[in-house]
């Protein structure tokens, strides 16, 4: 999945908390969030207002999709989305989540659906003759 596909998937699945998201979708989405936040901050700085309307709007517009892609990424590792609440545990919780977000997802089907890279399920390769 490339950068634009990840953004499209994040925005089109903004209320999807049931399926899976591969690592590239998750990390490209967060790259988009960082770049979009930076652009919004630059617009806020350019307006000269004391408040940050563009950053606030961007933050609200991407909050639910960001949570959804984070939950789907946990699903890819066969973990419940409720584990996202670990973010409430200072330092340790976020560290555990980052490790889980970095590891490879389960191959084939898991309880949350098919693998992004093998939508038909995992097929054991035939031994070489």
Q: Give the span between the Cα atoms of 20 and 72, in whole angstroms.
A: 4
Find, among 83, 69, 85, 73, the residue nearest to 33 by Cα: 69
Q: Convert the pLDDT of each residue in 55-99 to its tens digit.
A: 999 999 999 999 999 999 999 999 999 999 999 999 999 999 999
pLDDT in tens, 98-115: 999 999 998 888 899 888
pTM: 0.84
Write the DSSP symbol of residue 106.
P
- Residue 113 confidence (pLDDT): 87
Mean pLDDT for the chain?
89
pLDDT score recorded for residue 126: 52
Q: Where do runs of H (alpha helix) occur along the chain?
A: 3-12, 23-47, 53-76, 92-102
In this prediction, residue 49 carries a pLDDT of: 78
Contacts of 31 (CB under 8 A, 6+ apart): 3
Q: What is the pLDDT of residue 115?
A: 83
């Amino acid at each position: 999945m490339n950068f634009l596909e990840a953004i499209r998937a994040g925005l089109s699945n903004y209320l999807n908390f049931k399926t899976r998201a591969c690592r590239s979708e998750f990390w490209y989405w967060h790259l988009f969030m960082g770049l979009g936040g930076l652009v919004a901050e630059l617009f806020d700085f350019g307006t000269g207002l004391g408040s940050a309307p563009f950053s606030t709007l961007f933050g609200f517009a991407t909050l639910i999709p960001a949570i959804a892609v984070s939950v789907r990424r946990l699903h890819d590792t066969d973990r419940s989305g409720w584990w996202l609440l670990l973010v409430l545990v200072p330092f340790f919780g976020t560290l555990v989540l980052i490790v889980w977000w970095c590891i490879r997802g389960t191959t084939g089907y898991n309880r949350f659906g098919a693998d992004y890279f093998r939508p038909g399920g995992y097929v054991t390769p035939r031994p070489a003759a």
